Amino acid sequence: MAFRINESKSNGLQRAIQYLTNIDHNGFTLQEREQGKIYLERLTRWLGPVVESYPIWHPLMTSSRAKKAQPIYPSQECGYHGLDHTVLFAHGFITCPYTDGEDVIESVRALKKTKVAEISATKLDYPLYAVGACPILVECHWKFRLEPDLTIPSKVAVALMLKQALSDWERSEYVQSWENVSYCMLGSPHGQLSSLFINRETGLKMRKAWQAVCAAGVWG
């Protein structure tokens, strides 16, 4: 199936609105549900579209000080604690635990700061998920300008991809084609060369860089 960017953006936002404002018995009034919906719509203007998973090289996935697996979802594997009822955006996520949220805040504070991005966590004063939940916005603050469509520039995406992919090249036993790794390099949803993180031009450069490393015999 072809990757349709606008359709993916629209469908993702509607799923987020349904999940965070309109589930049955969440205890919100119609006015509160509308307030939450408006906030989510506004949020996409700077946090980017709703997504399903992250590229493995995204700062939200790589800022943990621990050397662990290469996750594509926020979890303890990449340094976060206390997440629950979470919705992902291209440059951040909202999580709504039934706690005071301090474990989320503290785990984000413990993440390492880099020259590429810093991660912050802020409690939200909006009715999201359900009465009794504590909505928290975890945001990736890039230290460079994003593209006008909020995708990540090629020089940054290619560099971060190679840095992450080559971090354990000594232990790699076989070559993986671009087709086999594109889901974790582009994030989801995605097409062959683009996603909600990466435009087609950048995706083409990423594929060329990946294929060049493979051709050099770095892996396997």
In a domain, 149, yes or no: no
Average pLDDT, the chain: 92
Q: Pick the closest to residue 104 from 96, 112, 113, 114 (CA basis).
A: 96
CA–CA gap between residue 175 and residue 30 (Å, rounded): 54
Domain limit, last residue, from 80, 109, 142: 142
- Number of structural domains the chain divides into: 2
Boundaries of domain holding 96:
5-142
pLDDT of residue 139: 98
pLDDT of residue 98: 96
pLDDT of residue 198: 96
Domain limit, last residue, from 108, 142, 176: 142
| pLDDT tops 50 at residue 81 | yes
Q: Are both 176 and 74 inside the same structural domain?
A: no
In a domain, 220, yes or no: no
- Whole-model pTM: value is 0.94
Residue 156 pLDDT grade (very low, low, confident, very high; cuts 50, 70, 90): very high
